[in-house]
Amino acid sequence: MLGMVTMNLYLETYGCQMNVSDSQKIETLFGEEGYQLVSDFHQADLIIINTCSVREKPEQKVFSALGRYLPLKRQNSRLVVAVGGCVAQQWGARLQQKCSGLDIVFGTHAIDVLPAMVREVRNTCLPQLDTAFRSAIPSLDIIPRYAAGTLTAFVTIMQGCNNYCSYCIVPYVRGREYSRPSDSIIAEIRQLAKNGIREVILLGQNVNSYGLQTAGELNFPQLLARVNEIHGIERIRFTTSHPKDLSDELIAAFVELDHLCPQFHLPLQSGSDRILERMGRGYSTAEYFDKVERLRQVCPEIAFSSDMIIGFPGESAEDFQKTVDMIRRVRYDTVYSFKYSPRPGTRAVSFPDQVEEAVKKERLRIFQTLQDEITSKNLRKLEGTTQEILVNGPAKRGGDQWVGRTPTNQIVNFSSDENFTGQTMTVRITRALRHSLKGDIVQHG
């Protein structure tokens, strides 16, 4: 009888695109169990928090969220509360000791067993914990169900990381690198294309090393070539790359593969070789810049984005200046920049020369002001050009306004009396705004 009743799921997600993708899978699994998604947590029978621990701030958000949700169990005895993702992986049983009443802690390899854990709690009222690392990760093969009309899908191709950069918690909470079999990836994307998906974003902590640990598996450029052949997929993007693993073969893919978008997220982290060395990144700024230039030679319109850590231990004013110089040289479209955040268990926590909070804060402000100027300048350069945009749908502010994206992933707003959602159109860029563009239709279809 229980299976017939619709129950309410409130799902809260922090962090990266992989967490967003994991939440889409969780939503799909619970859809099959008879749960519908609600936006008001007061109505929930099940609350799931999918967490991130890459920096301290998103980690803190988990504890304040639990402070909000756990007291609700006093009024609603049916309510089950679960915490998953990177914080759950890291804290494990300690999370249930610290937060009494927390029913479920599920790690980054346990998404597929989560519905069974919820059923177990409902049957036995006993808390459940699963933070085991699996050698193959079953949840990678869960295909999320997308709402009709969805154009873009995330496809996880690998998970985990073997790099152990000195600041980073990811290898400890996502586990060692595991590449999903290419047959399963191709089958999923074929299915997505049949269901109307036009753009795929291939996800992994380091997609460049896809397949390298598995005998007989395709490597990343070979996988891209296979995806490029799938009928109906017009745009292929991927994230994240490690500069040291960016191969000549991948650079050549930007010439050879017509559906591969001219966009590259290539985290630099610091513009100082001394700091890169201490981070354990395995490349110099010269090697990085050489790869950027070679990509620009084969694909002049390519747009770069990056992650940057400001105030890593030992970062002097001179090191910081080198980071600033580097963003001027590369001219990124977007940089996701954060103050260095000490993470328990990583090597950099015990580096003696931690940078003062106020210094980090000031450097971040200077950095972001400059990057904003570079972003605006790049957008202004597009004024007067024509761009092929894939139309995503109506703009948030409604009316006759619509929104699409360029191959380089810039947002373009335009007006039209007709609905061209899902179509590729040519627009002339008329104006650059702070983070987006305005355009006029030149041609559609």
Residues at the contact surface with ligand SF4, assessed by CB under 6 A: 161, 163-165, 168, 170-171, 205-206, 242
Q: Does position 55 bind ligand 5AD by CB under 6 A?
A: yes
CA distance 31 to 289: 46
CA distance 164 to 171: 6
Q: Does position 402 bind ligand 5AD by CB under 6 A?
A: no
Task: Give the footprint of ligand 5AD on residues 164-203 (CB under 6 A).
Answer: 167-168
Asked if residues 307 and 335 have their Cβ atoms less than 8 Å apart, the reply is yes
Which CB atom, from 141 or from 277, has the smaller least distance to ligand 5AD?
277
Nearest to 66 by CA among 86, 51, 45: 51
CB-based contacts of 90, cutoff 8 Å, min separation 6: 53, 169, 172, 173, 344, 345
Which CB atom, from 161 or from 260, has the smaller least distance to ligand 5AD?
161
Asked if residues 331 and 374 have their Cβ atoms less than 8 Å apart, the reply is yes
State the nearest-atom distance from the C-beta of 268 to ligand SF4, in Å.
11
State the nearest-atom distance from the C-beta of 338 to ligand 5AD, in Å.
4
State the nearest-atom distance from the C-beta of 298 to ligand SF4, in Å.
25
Instruction: List the structure tokens of 303.
Output: 């747009």
Which CB atom, from 209 or from 334, has the smaller least distance to ligand SF4?
209
Nearest to 280 by CA among 316, 324, 313: 313
CA distance 275 to 11: 38
| Residue choice 10, 340, 367, 414 for contact with ligand 5AD (CB under 6 A) | 340
Nearest to 158 by CA among 239, 265, 51: 239
Asked if residues 207 and 241 have their Cβ atoms less than 8 Å apart, the reply is yes
3-state secondary structure at position 391: strand
* Angle, alpha carbons 405-208-330 (nearest 5°): 60
State the nearest-atom distance from the C-beta of 169 to ligand SF4, in Å.
8
171 binds, among ligand SF4, ligand 5AD, none (CB under 5 to 8 A by kind): ligand SF4
State the nearest-atom distance from the C-beta of 273 to ligand 5AD, in Å.
17
State the nearest-atom distance from the C-beta of 435 to ligand 5AD, in Å.
20
CB-based contacts of 422, cutoff 8 Å, min separation 6: 149, 151, 196, 198, 390, 391
Measured at CB, which residue is nearest to ligand 5AD? 307
| Residue choice 9, 48, 49, 54 for contact with ligand 5AD (CB under 6 A) | 54
10 Å Cβ neighbour count for 71? Answer: 10
343 binds, among ligand SF4, ligand 5AD, none (CB under 5 to 8 A by kind): ligand 5AD
Which CB atom, from 84 or from 311, has the smaller least distance to ligand 5AD?
311
State the nearest-atom distance from the C-beta of 260 to ligand SF4, in Å.
22
Asked if residues 436 and 405 have their Cβ atoms less than 8 Å apart, the reply is no
338 binds, among ligand SF4, ligand 5AD, none (CB under 5 to 8 A by kind): ligand 5AD
Asked if residues 188 and 21 have their Cβ atoms less than 8 Å apart, the reply is no
Number of residues that bind ligand 5AD (CB under 6 A): 12
CA distance 249 to 251: 5
Q: Does position 237 bind ligand 5AD by CB under 6 A?
A: no
Task: Give the footprint of ligand 5AD on residues 299-338 (CB under 6 A).
Answer: 307, 309, 338
Task: Give the footprint of ligand 5AD on residues 114-153 (CB under 6 A).
Answer: none
| Residue choice 174, 259, 278, 343 for contact with ligand 5AD (CB under 6 A) | 343
**Which residues would be at the binding site for ligand 5AD (CB under 6 A)?**
54-55, 167-168, 267, 269, 307, 309, 338, 340-341, 343
